[in-house]
Chains A and B, each alone.
Chain A
Amino acid sequence: MSFNIAVCIKPVPDPSHYDKITIHPVNKTITREGIPTIINPVDKNAIEAALQVKEKWGGKVTVITMAPPSAEENLREALAMGADEAVLLTDRAFAGADTWATSYTLAQGLKKIGHFDLIFTGTESADGATSQVPAQLAQWLKIAHLWNVQQFKITNKEELQAQMKIENGYIEYALKLPALLAVSRECNKPRYTTIMGVMKAKKKPLITYTADDLDLNKDFIGLKGSPTQPGDIYTPELGRKGQELTGEVEEIVAQLIQKLRAAGLNLESWNACAVGRE
């Protein structure tokens, strides 16, 4: 029993450098100068999940991304971790894609490569954080999917069991393959890239496809194919402002509670907790 596995990854600006990200005041573009691009952290859990399946059951791991040409470096890293081949979907026509256009392009890329029993993604990207691509991608491919998977077990060639993390626990599902799992950080601990892995990576195939290589509806890709467009983008004002409340103690407390409520603080739930503890 072996599995053909795909992992979708996204290159993102390194979250440890987020303090250096600025927004251009006039043309509203995000300045990423000097910020390294890394594999989206939870996508490494997706790669690890795929490698563990391959190691246990046999098969092949293909890692895919839709990104600018510089993403080759991130794909090489995935190959160094142990993936067998990498596919880069890159074209200026893909630029500006929202999650709908991105998931469509990825789906067409995966269809071009072949059939997959399992597709892994991370739950969300560190930059956009919409969490929409995994479900959308599965819908394009018309396969079962589950999001926020904290643990899974393959039972046979046709089925797997997976736990979806929820606020106070998890829900266990059985899924028919082929399926897409968007894994959470709890799912595993991604392995380190070893020096031997780095040396092997340079000999592994890395294929690039442009828009012309894929069977695409050109109205579904890039900025033009994106139903959602960001509105304004701005840096929030984080300055602090002192304010003096005057009057009797009761009056001050009443004013304070009113202001805290106005600021969106849920005092009722806090009270409930406090009462519960007593």
Chain B
Amino acid sequence: MQFFQFTEEQEMLRKAVREFVEAEIAPKAAEWDEKDYCPVELFPKMGEMGITGIFVPEQYGGAGLGHVERAICLEEISRHSAGLGIALMTHHLCVAGILYYGTEEQKQKYLPELAAGTKIGGLSVTEPGGGSDFMGQKSTGELKDGYWVLNGRKCFITNSHVADIDIWTVITGQDEKGRPVMTAFIIDPDTPGHTPGRKEHKLGLRGSVTGDVNCVEVKVAPGQMLGKEGAGAKIAMTTIQEVGRAGMSAINVGILRGCVEEGVKFANERIVYGKPIAKLQAIQFDIAETRLEYEAARLLTYRAAGMKDAGIPCATEFAMAKLYATEAACRAAKRIMDMMGGYGIINEYPIGRFLRDALASIPAGGTSHIQKLIIAGSTLSGK
């Protein structure tokens, strides 16, 4: 048993990312939330930093690191802007899909620009019929005259209106038992018929764009297929399970750290009855519970990320990390908000935004109920 410790390079990396975040993100986070603006102009800057391509091998223009380092980046960014955190997290879904399932040609074509942040990635899976009824998707892909023609509507898609490169899952037929065959395609920027639709007005995680993406008679060459025909379900599921939930866990670890730090700052500065409220035991209990939840979420998240980097299956571990981190972030933000009294609901303080961001994190990558089903499933089957 080794005790949990980051390497010297990981600590340096965290410091470097924190410096970037405190200069470029923290001062604008409240404004992005207020205006519901996704700061796309930051993607090339995050590219220069190595953040957008953190786990992309150096040969494709990335930093050549892993998912622990990715979680560090997402935690640091989401400490101040969980909205930008989910935009980046979703960009990484597209990166992961191409990196883990793409052909050499596809990797060379797409990864350098995605790693540089000069192109933004998206992953369009969820449909109006429901996210958890995964195989019930209605979007179709049909082979006509040597091209795949895609039709359908995706909803609740992060980066819907800002993504340049979009991965789509569609039903391309039925197998011999009559079950749907799901296939994934990479859609190039400005492909005719591939358009963003309705833009959602969200409670939290503003600063990221969420909405519909439509395909109307979208023609893609067979070379745009990601993996084999029928591999779409596996590609989407593993990417969501081990990259998507990983991202949501790290984002909420960031929110939890925000709760701890903002709570401590307020408790030390707020004077009531002639002394800081931090001297009161009731306030100390709030701080202790919040710190504990932050640490627990952090341990679950980084352990799962370490497993991912070691090549160990970690879907259940990320389900636990995601469930715990998002629910704990909701509790912590509410607790610190209460602790702050009237100040807690004033938007000059970020705690209200943290609560909205934590609440909006629950459905992303599967609700808490879905995570429980995954955890129970693997536990009951003895895994």
Contact = CB atoms under 8 A, between A and B. Distances in A.
A196 B48 CA distance: 9
Contacts of A76: 12
Between B9, B12, B19, B48, the greatest number of chain A beta carbons within 10 A of the residue's beta carbon is seen for: B12
B16 A192 contact: yes
B248 interface: no
Contacts of B73: 195
Interface string B2-25: 000000110011011101100100
A241 to B, nearest CB: 19
B352 interface: no
B16 A199 contact: no
A77 B65 CA distance: 19
Contact of A195 (B8, B23, B65): B65
Chain B: number of interface residues, binned into ranges: 20 to 34
Contacts of A196: 50, 63
Interface string B178-202: 0000000000000000000000000
Interface residues on A, range: 10 to 19
Given A199-B9, A202-B9, A194 B16 contact: yes
Contacts of B8: 202
Nearest to B14: A198
A80 B19 contact: no
B interface: dominant SS = helix
A154 B49 CA distance: 29
A64 B50 CA distance: 27
Contacts of A197: 16
A201 interface: yes
Interface string B125-161: 0000000000000000000000000000000000000
Contact of A80 (B12, B48, B54): B12
Nearest to B16: A193
Contacts of B9: 198-199, 202
B12 A201 contact: yes
B276 to A, nearest CB: 13
Nearest to A73: B12
A197 B19 CA distance: 14
A77 B48 CA distance: 17
B250 interface: no
A193 B73 CA distance: 14
Contacts of A193: 12, 15-16, 19
Interface in A178-209: 192-199, 201-202
A194 B12 contact: no
Contacts, number: 44
With a 10 A CB-CB cut-off, give which of A76, A194, A202 has the most chain B CB atoms: A194
B66 to A, nearest CB: 12
B64 to A, nearest CB: 7
A192 B45 CA distance: 10
Nearest to A193: B16
B69 interface: yes
A194 B48 contact: yes
B51 interface: yes
A74 to B, nearest CB: 11
Contacts of A77: 12, 15
Contacts of B12: 76-77, 80, 193, 198, 201
Interface string A62-92: 0000000000000011001000000000000
A192 B20 contact: yes
A195 B19 contact: no
Nearest to A72: B8
* Residue from the set A77, A198, A202 with the largest chain B CB neighbour count within 10 Å: A198
A173 B9 CA distance: 42
Nearest to A189: B23
A193 B12 CA distance: 9
Interface string B35-79: 000000000000011110010000000011100010001000000
B16 A80 contact: yes
10 cross-chain pairs, A with B, having the tightest CB-CB distances, nearest first: A195-B50, A193-B16, A195-B63, A198-B12, A196-B50, A192-B20, A198-B13, A194-B49, A194-B50, A195-B13
30 contacts: A76-B12, A77-B15, A80-B12, A80-B16, A192-B16, A192-B19, A192-B20, A192-B23, A192-B48, A192-B49, A193-B12, A193-B15, A193-B16, A194-B48, A194-B49, A195-B13, A195-B16, A195-B50, A195-B51, A195-B54, A195-B65, A195-B73, A196-B50, A196-B63, A197-B16, A198-B12, A198-B13, A199-B64, A199-B65, A201-B12
Given A192-B23, A193-B12, A195-B73, 15 more contacts: A76-B12, A193-B15, A193-B16, A194-B49, A195-B13, A195-B16, A195-B49, A195-B63, A195-B65, A196-B63, A197-B16, A198-B13, A199-B65, A201-B12, A202-B9
